[in-house]
A and B are shown apart, each in its own frame.
Chain A
Amino acid sequence: MIVAFSILLPFIAAACIPFIYRRFKNIHLGWFVLVVPALLFTVLATYIPRIANGETFSKTFEWIPSFGINITTYLDGLSIIFSLLITGVGSLVILYSIFYLSTKESLHHFYCYLLLFMGAMLGVVLSDNLMVLYVFWELTSVSSFLLIAFWHHRKASRAGARKAMLITVSGGVAMLAGFLMLYVVSGTFSIREIIANLDIVQSSNLFIPAMCLVLLGAFTKSAQFPFHIWLPDAMEAPTPVSAYLHSATMVKAGIYLVARMTPIFGGHEVWFWAVSGVGIVTLFWGSFNAVRQFDLKALLAYSTISQLGLIMSLFGLGSAALHLGYSTQSVIYTQATFAALFHLINHSTFKGALFMMVGIVDHEVGTRDIRRLGGLMSLMPFTFTIAVIGSFSMAGLPPFNGFLSKEMFFMATVKITQLDIFSLDSVGLLFPIVAWIASVFTFIYCVIIVMRTFFGKIQPDRLEKPPHEAPIGMLIPPYILIGLVVGIFMFPNILGHYILRPAMASIYPTFPSTDEMTPHISAWHGYINTELIMTIGVVIVGVFLYRTLKKWRPMYQIFPQKYSFNSIYERVISSSEYRSDQVTKRYMNGNLTYYFIYIYVFFVVVLAGYMVYADVFSWDPSKDSVIEPYELILVFVMIFATLAILFAKQRITIVLLNGVLGYSVAFFFVVFRAPDLALTQLVVESITTALFLLSFKFLPKLTKEKVSKTFKFTKITISIAVGATVTFIGLAVMNYDEFEPISAYFEDSYNLAGGKNIVNTILGDFRAFDTMLEVVVLFIAGLGVYTLIKLKAKKGDADVESK
C-alpha cells in the first residue's frame, strides 16, 4: 500500500503546485517540492533491511481484470535500487535547482513537470504489470519532453525535446508490441507470472520478435547506439534536469527494463549478443565522441551514453549465466551483472555531481565552452574538488567508487572470453580490447574536464561574468554525491550486501542465493591481477594521448558530419516535414465542400463496398409491420423540408428547415418508443438551433456559389450515393445475422447494475469507460473552441519565433 502511495504522491503534489505557487509567492517553490522525494526516500529506505532478508512487497489494485491489466506494485531488490536513486538523486537535484533557477522563471511549470516525471519513473520501476509499466514509460517520455523544452522560447530546446520524444516514443511503441506478444504467448501481463511460465514463453515462435521489440524500447530510452543521438540535444534542458533525467533516472529506465527482462529473455544467444554487443559499441562510440566535444555539457552527455553502454554490456555478459543454468562455474558470470548494478549506482553518484559541477560553472561564469574556460581552480576551489573527484571516479581511478566497478567490468570482459558458448571463442577477445580502448578515451575526456576548466590560464575577457565560488546551497547536493563516491569506495560491501544482493536475486530468480553471487568487493586484491594491469595501461596511454591531443584531434575530421546518424535523422525529419506539407496542402485546401466530398466518398466506398463484398442486400418486407398514416405524414414533411433546403435563398430559412428535420426525427423516436433518444434529439436540436441563431450575425450573407456543371453533377452523384448507402444499410440491418445480438445481456440490467433504464445502465455502468472518456473529449473540445475564439494572437505578438 505504501509502495502504491509512493507512486501516487508525486502526482498529488504536482496537482497541488498551482495552489501552493499562488499562495506563497515569496518562498521558492522548490522548498515545498523537496519534501516529496525526501519523504519518499526515507520511507523507501526503511524497506532496505527487510528486502535484504529476501522479502518482497506486492499489492494489486484491479483495473481492467477482464484483460489482466491490474495495477500491481512490486517492490523487490531491483526496484528498490531504482526507486532509491529516483527519490535520492531527485531530492538532491531539487535542492540544487532551488539555487539554480531564479524565481523569475516559471517555476510552477518546472516543478510540476519534474514531479510528474518522478511519479512516472517510480511507476515504471514499481509496476509488475506490463501495460501499467508501458503507460508510465510513455509518461516519462512526455514529461521529459516538457522538461527539455522548458526554455521553449529557444528553438534548440524545442528541437531537442522533439528529437528525444520522437526517438524514445517510437522505441516505446515497439516495446508495447513486444509486451503484447508476451501476453499472447503467456496469457498474462504480470512479469512475475511470465517468469513463472518461462518454458511456454521460450518455446514460442514469438519469443525472438518480442525480445527484439522490447530491446528496441530499452535501447532508445537508454540512448544506446545508434539511438544515442537524442541525448546530446536533450542537454538544452536546464542543468538540474540534465543531472536528473539524463544521468540518474530516465536514461536508466532502459537499463532497468533489460535487468527486469533478463530472467525472461536472458540465456538466449540473441539477447546475449544484442545487449552486450550494442552496449560495448555504445561504450566505445560514446567515449570516442566525447573527446571531440567543446561544450562541457555535451561532453558529459556523450560520457553518459558511453557509461550506459558499459552497464548495458555488463547486463548482456551476465545473462550468459542463465544459459548455463546454475552451477559453481556459471555463477562466476553473474559477477558481470553484479558489476552492472554496482556501476549503475556509482554512475549516478559521480555523474550527478559532475552535471551539477558544470551547472555551477555555467551559472557563475556564463559559459560551458572549454575553449573559453581555464584557470578556475584558485577561484572556485570547492567546485574544483567536485570536478576532480567526479572525473577521477568516472575515469576509474582509486580511491573512488568508479575504480571498483571499472575493475569489475574489466574482470567480467576478461572472464567472458573463457566461455565457449554463443561462438564466443572466436570474437570474445574483442570484449576486453574494446573495453580497454574505450576506457582510454574515458580517461582522456575525464582529464579534459578537469584540466581545461580549472588549470591553465584564465581568460577573463572571454567569460561573461567574473568568476566566483557558487552559493553554498548549490554546493551541498554535489558534495553529498561526492561524499558517496568516496564512501562507497571505503565501504563497498555494505552496499553490496544490503542493496545489490537482493537485486541479484531478482535478476536470477532460479538461482539459489549464494555468496558467490555477491562477491566481496575489495579495492586491493593483494596481488597484481589482469584488471589492475589494464587500469595502469589506461592511465599511461591516456596521459600520453592527452599530451598529444593536438596532434591526433584532426582525426575526427576524417569522419564527415554528413554521414553521421544525426544528419540522417535531420534529413529524414526535414524531408518528411516537406513531403507531408506538400501532401496536406493538396487535400486541406480550406474549402469545406471538398472535405465533405472526401468524407462521403470514403463512407460510400467502405460501407457500400463492404455490403457488396458481404452480399447482404436483401429486402424482405413481409415481416415488417404496417406503416401507419401518421408515419407517412412525417415522412412527407421531412421530404418536403429537405427539398426546401435545397432551394432556400436565406440562411435563416435553412436553419429553421433543418430544425424541422431534427424535430421530425425526434417524433419518429417517440413513435418507435425510444424516449431516451427522442429526449436527447429534441434538446440537442433546440440547442443547436439556438446556437445558430446566436452566432447568426457573425456569418456572412449566403451567396450562390458559381460552380461548373460537371462539379455540380459530381456533388449530386455523391449525395445520391450517400443516401442510397444509408438506405441500403437500414434495410440490410433487418436481416443481418453475422453476429449474435448482445441485447440479451443488457436486459438483466436491474440485477447487474441496479438500474431499470437499459440505456442509462449501459452509459453509466456497462460501458462507463466510454462515457468517461467522452466526457473528457467533450471538455477538451470545449476548451479548444474557447481557445480558438478567445486567444487570438494580438497584433505584434505574431512573431514569437524571432525573439
Chain B
Amino acid sequence: MKVNDVILKTVVKMIVFIILTLGMYLFFAGHNAPGGGFIGGLVLGSAIVLLYLTYDIETVHRGMPFDFKKVAALGVLLATGTAIASLFFDVPFLTHIDGYFNIPFLGEKHLSTVTIFEAGVALTVVGTLVTIILNISEDE
C-alpha cells in the first residue's frame, strides 16, 4: 500500500527549518535564558528525527552525509577537550573564561568558553539521539 503523505512532506519541509532555528536559538540563549546545550541538542536532534520519519533514510542521508556516531564522538572530544585545555593555561581543570568582545557588525558581545563545552554537549546529544533512534527503527 502506498502511503499518501504529501501534506506531511510539505509541512515538514518548512517546519524542520523552524525547529532547527529554534534549536540554535535555544543553544545560544542558554547562558542567560532557558536553553543550553542539552535542550538545544535535543531540539536539533528531534528535527533530524522528524526528517527521517518523513523521508526515507537514503534521501536524508544524501542531504546530511554525517555518521552520527562520529558526531557524538566529536561532541565528547569537544567537551573533554575544553576541560583538559584549561590545564594548559595554568588554571584548574574545567575552568571557563568569559569576557566582552567588540565584534564588527554585531557590536559588543559576551563570549565564553562555556559555549564550546556546551557545543560538545549538544553534539553528543544529537549524535547519540539520532544513532539510537535510527538503529531502533531501522528494518532488519
Contacts and interface: CB of A to CB of B under 8 A. Distances in A.
B94 to A, nearest CB: 5
Contacts of B129: 687, 782
Contacts of B94: 768-769, 772
Contacts of A764: 30-31, 36-37, 96, 114, 117-118
A790 interface: yes
B72 A782 contact: yes
Nearest to B100: A754
Nearest to A694: B137
Interface stretch (B8-16, B58-66, B119-127): B119-127
A779 interface: yes
Given A754-B98, A756-B33, A757-B31, A775 B79 contact: yes
B34 A757 contact: yes
Contacts of A759: 34, 36
Contacts of A789: 135-136, 138
Interface stretch (A101-109, A380-388, A542-550, A675-683): A675-683
A690 B49 contact: yes
Range, interface on chain A? 35 or more
Contacts of A690: 46, 49-50, 53, 133
Contacts of A679: 26, 34-35, 39
A694 B34 contact: no
Interface in A756-786: 756-757, 759-761, 763-765, 768-769, 771-772, 775-776, 778-779, 781-783, 785-786
Shortest 6 CB-CB contacts between residues of A and residues of B: A782-B128, A754-B98, A694-B137, A756-B32, A675-B34, A62-B92
Contacts of B135: 785-786, 789-790
Given A756-B32, A757-B34, A765 B96 contact: yes
Interface string A669-704: 000000110111001101100110011001000000
B80 interface: yes
A786 B31 contact: no
B20 interface: no
A753 interface: yes
B56 to A, nearest CB: 13
B32 A757 contact: yes
Nearest to A15: B77
Majority secondary structure of chain A interface residues (helix, strand, loop or mixed) = helix
Nearest to B137: A694
A521 B25 CA distance: 74
A768 B34 contact: no
Given A679-B39, A753-B96, A782-B72, A768 B83 contact: yes
B76 interface: yes
Given A62-B90, A64-B92, A764-B118, A691 B136 contact: yes
Nearest to B133: A691
A431 B96 CA distance: 59
Given A676-B39, A755-B114, A779 B34 contact: no
Contacts of B83: 768-769, 772
A61 B112 CA distance: 22
24 contacts: A61-B87, A62-B91, A64-B93, A71-B87, A679-B26, A687-B129, A690-B49, A690-B53, A691-B136, A759-B36, A760-B118, A761-B31, A763-B36, A764-B30, A764-B37, A764-B96, A764-B118, A772-B117, A778-B72, A778-B125, A779-B127, A783-B69, A785-B135, A786-B69
Contact of A687 (B46, B69, B72, B87): B46
B131 A760 contact: no
A768 B96 contact: yes
B128 A781 contact: yes
A687 B49 contact: yes
Contacts, number: 158
A736 interface: no
Interface of A: 61-65, 71, 675-676, 678-680, 683-684, 686-687, 690-691, 694-695, 698, 753-757, 759-761, 763-765, 768-769, 771-772, 775-776, 778-779, 781-783, 785-786, 789-790
Contacts of B93: 62-64, 769
Interface of B: 26, 30-39, 42-43, 45-46, 49-50, 53, 69, 72-73, 75-76, 79-80, 83, 87-88, 90-94, 96, 98, 110, 112, 114, 117-118, 120-121, 124-125, 127-129, 131-133, 135-138
Contacts of A781: 128
B88 to A, nearest CB: 8
Nearest to A778: B128
A768 B112 CA distance: 14
A55 to B, nearest CB: 22
B128 A779 contact: yes
A691 B135 CA distance: 11
A675 B39 CA distance: 11
Given A63-B93, A778-B125, A783-B69, 18 more contacts: A62-B87, A679-B26, A686-B46, A691-B133, A695-B136, A695-B137, A753-B96, A760-B30, A763-B37, A764-B30, A764-B37, A764-B96, A764-B114, A768-B96, A782-B128, A785-B132, A786-B132, A789-B136
Given A61-B87, A680-B42, A772-B83, A760 B136 contact: no
Contacts of A686: 46
Contact of B73 (A687, A694, A756, A779): A779
A14 to B, nearest CB: 15
B79 to A, nearest CB: 5
Given A62-B90, A768-B83, A786-B135, A775 B121 contact: yes
B53 A694 contact: yes
Contacts of A783: 69
Contacts of B69: 782-783, 786
